[in-house]
Amino acid sequence: MIIKLAALLMTLTITQVNAVPRNYDGRHVDVTGRALRSRVVSLPNGTTYTLFALCAAKCVHVTVLGTAVIPRGQTLTVHGTFYNRKDLGGFVLHGILVDPGTL
C-alpha cells in the first residue's frame, strides 16, 4: 500500500486551526496568512527563536528555530507542526513550529 505524502499534509485556514486546535495538536499543517509582530527571543541556553503572528481573519502563533527575517505584512505559507502546548526547554510553544528550511 503506497500512501502519497501530499495526502498526509493538511492545508488549512487559520480559522480552522483556531476553531478546534486540539484536532490538530501534533499534526503537520500548511497555513497561509500575513506575517505580523515578528520578534526574536534568546533562551538562557543560547537557543534563538523567531516568533510572529500569521493572520487572516484571526491569527495563529508561529515559531521558527533560529533567526529569520519576517517582513511585516508579507503573505507566507507556513509548513510545520501545530502544538496546543509544547515545552521546548525553557520556552513553551503554542502554535506552529515551522519545519526547518521551509521559511
Residue 19: band (very low, low, confident or very high) from pLDDT cuts 50, 70, 90: very high
The pLDDT tens digits for 27-78 are: 999 999 999 999 999 988 888 999 999 999 999 999 999 999 999 999 999 9
> Which secondary structure element, helix H or strand E, spans residue 6, and what is its range?
helix 5-8
pTM recorded for the entire structure: 0.86
- pLDDT, average across residues 84-100: 89
Fold of 5-98: OB fold (Dihydrolipoamide Acetyltransferase, E2P) (2.40.50)
pLDDT reported for residue 1: 39
The C-alpha cell that represents 75 in the structure block = 503573505
User: What are the sequence ranges of the domains in the chain?
Assistant: 5-98
Q: For CA atoms 78, 81, 85, 90, give the dihedral sign.
A: negative
The pLDDT tens digits for 21-37 are: 999 999 999 999 999 99
For residue 6, the one-letter residue type is A
The C-alpha cell that represents 1 in the structure block = 500500500
- Give the Cα separation of 70 and 35 in Å (integer): 7
